[in-house]
Amino acid sequence: MTIQGTITEIKQTKANLIRTDKLSKYYGSANNEGVLTVRELKKYFGTVKAVDGLSFTIFSGEIYGLLGPNGAGKTTTIKSILGMLALQGGNITVLGFDPVITPEKVKENIGYVAEEPVLYESMTVKELFNFIASIRRLDPERATTVAKEYLVSLNALEYYDTFIGGLSRGNKQKIQVIAALLHEPKVLILDEPLSGLDARSARILKEIFQIHREKGGSIILSTHIMEQAQTLCDRIGIINEGKMVAEGTFEELQELAKTTVATSLEDIFLHLTGQTESAKGFLEKLRQLPNN
Ligand SMILES: Nc1ncnc2c1ncn2[C@@H]1O[C@H](COP(=O)(O)OP(=O)(O)OP(=O)(O)O)[C@@H](O)[C@H]1O
Ligand SMILES: [Mg+2]
């Protein structure tokens, strides 16, 4: 089946999915230790405690959202999961593998989309995908077919022979996501994957993420877009100053924040990260600044 066909099928069945049923499978089994576990993670840059004792678990078939203000420690957490940073404490497992001890096993099972597109600017899109197929030892014909399917669904096939350096930011982002998906990783790690994308492409990518989850894959997704977290994520972890301040389904977070009249994830987020009052105060000061 084509990606477009699968997307249509998922759209048709999505309405019938009951979130609580899906969630019960994560918690139902005592043996379910999680696809990705982060335990007491600590990462300091000098005196800055970027991540300070963070723990969470992501289960199979789950989309987990990492939310937090700028500088909260989301990217540092993600880079730690990828084994890119030397840690001050804690441990991480991805499908049972430690990213520091067996980075190759972790990389085999992960697809990563960085905050800023990191791609070989002097390659064409086609050359990049062929290169990935070669280093990941994928069947070249299948990889080309799959890559082209993704390009078509994201309205980007016309860039197949274009140098990556000449692409717009949004189109680079699409290429980065496709590159992360080509080897069908079990875990997708996405650092603000939809930033800079037009509405249609963002919609298609969200559907592609759903397909990944429907096939049993897991996703950890850092985002600032509340609507995205609310509609896409099964559970959300809100972090602030390197610590988890709240974690749960949207409904559970709503419950946690019910001391206020929180109606949206944005309200809940601002409340739980203690930003509601400070935002109000600063805005009032801005209003009162005298005109020139
Ligand atoms: N390489 C580095 N050297 C020094 N400090 C760093 C480095 N990387 C991150 N930090 C600091 O660690 C803290 C957490 O940064 P991080 O990039 O993880 O935040 P974030 O939650 O991803 O923020 P954003 O929403 O802006 O992307 C910040 O105070 C940041 O300045
Ligand atoms: Mg970041």
260 pLDDT tier (thresholds 50, 70, 90): low
Q: Residue of the nearest CA to atom 4 in ligand 1?
A: 45
Residue 78 alpha carbon, nearest atom of ligand 1: 18
Angle, helix 199-214 to helix 169-181, in steps of 10 degrees: 10
For ligand 1, atom 28: residue with the closest CA: 71
Whether 73 lines ligand 1, by a CB cut-off of 6 Å, is yes
Task: Kindly give the distance from the C-alpha atom of residue 75 to the centroid of ligand 1, in angstroms, as a whole number.
Answer: 7
Residue 125: give its domain's CATH number: 3.40.50.300
Distance 79 CA to ligand 2 centre (A): 10
Specify the higher pLDDT residue, 2 or 24.
2
**Segments forming the whole domain that contains residue 133:** 3-288
Q: Give the best-scoring range by mean pLDDT among 3-7, 43-47, 273-277.
A: 43-47
Spatial distance between the Cα atoms of 211 and 207, rounded to a whole number of angstroms: 6
> Into how many domains does the chain fold?
1
Residues with a beta carbon under 5 angstroms from ion ligand 2: 74-75, 115
Tokens of 122: 């002097």
Q: What is the pLDDT of residues 158-170, one digit of tens each?
A: 999 999 999 999 9
CA 75-80-84 angle, to 5 degrees, is 100
Residue 271, helix vs strand vs coil: helix
